[in-house]
Amino acid sequence: MIGEIYYSRKFLQHKPENYHPENPGRLWILISVIRELRLDDRILEPMPVDESFVKRIHDPTYVEFVKRAVEEGRRYLDPDTYVCPGTWEAALTALGASKLATLAALRYGGLNMALVRPPGHHAGRRGKAMGASTLGFCIFNNIAAAVLALKDEGLEKIVVVDFDAHHGNGTQEIFWHDPDVIHIDLHERDIYPWTGYESEIGGGLAKGSKINIPMPHYSNDSDYIFAWNEIVIPILEEVTPEIVLVSAGFDGFKGDGLTTLKLTEKFFSYAGASLRRYPLGMIFEGGYNVGLKKGFPAFVKGYEEKEARDDGQPSYETLKIVEEVKDILSPWWSF
């Protein structure tokens, strides 16, 4: 079942002066797909959060830094990440959309989406996270807003699955010491933000709650489906969450432009189909071209219509990485 879709034209007001891969055209593609899927009657206008909520996610100094940068007319927070007059309202509304999609999934079930910009999973508590050189196009952490919405509803164990091609270093940093937030991150290794390795498992009492699967360059559908079946699905089955939060990036699609991954509709359809048993709060992250045109609808259709089919053989390198991840996490999980 497809539930509610949160989208606002305010997201289009976060826009660069010159060409930038993270631009309003990304959402134009998604909305075109939504119309083709005849789901546009599910679109709802989200409300922005207030500043006090943002400061529950991010250090107040960082929040004030962003606000001041917008007010003063600055163009960039760092070499990757721009701001403009519409950024502040777009970013607060993106957090609001993420909360609302999550609460809709919790209350009514189905796949509920926050089609938001600017993206969020690289934004840590104080901005740049875990030694990353930039914010990676992100302003505030949208998936963290979804987590807080569930915590406010009293949920104890919360699962975030991030399949964006880049590691969600900001999300990992924010919840590094929180054992109740299980963050599973499937991404390409040795690319921006150069984090998310097998050994990063959480801090203190949260050890074992941060699961990183750094996939080899040029990984394809068979590699990703194997890792998904060996690690992601068993953890979900062990936790049995009431809802799954998804940081949904489609930049791993073959030819999307920013990575070497070679995923197709097959993986995204499989991922959607394998999550059908759970209500989903899906928060949009990366994806810049063909991944949005083909990967995004494949995920939606997979959740709505298809059975998960598993075939194909992973590479030897994928087998090694998956076994290493399982070995490191074996004290905490039953694989």
Interatomic CA distance for residues 91 and 163, integer angstroms: 22
- Can you read off the two tokens belonging to residue 264? 């197709």
Cβ-proximal residues to 19 (8 Å cutoff; 6+ apart), any chain: none
- Can you read off the two tokens belonging to residue 96? 């609001």
219-237 in b/e form (b: 16+ CB < 10 A) is bbbbbbbbbbbbbbeebbe
- Can you read off the two tokens belonging to residue 252? 């791993």
The type of residue at 186 is L
Cα 171 to Cα 58, 128, 138, 218, 259: the distances in Å are 11, 11, 11, 25, 20
Query: At 302, which helix (H) or strand (E)?
Result: helix 296-305
Residue 95 CA to its chain's centroid (Å): 13
Asked if 236 and 244 touch (Cβ cutoff 8 Å), the reply is yes
DSSP string, 137-185: T-SS-HHHHHHHHHHHTT-S-EEEEE-SSS--HHHHHHTTT-TTEEEEE
Asked if 81 and 89 touch (Cβ cutoff 8 Å), the reply is no
Interatomic CA distance for residues 196 and 128, integer angstroms: 15
Q: Is 122 a catalytic residue?
A: yes
Query: At 248, which helix (H) or strand (E)?
Result: strand 244-248
- Can you read off the two tokens belonging to residue 279? 């209500």
- Residue 27 backbone dihedrals phi, psi, to 5 degrees: -75, -30
Asked if 92 and 145 touch (Cβ cutoff 8 Å), the reply is no
Catalytic residue among 122, 166, 167, 183: 122
The residues that are catalytic are 122
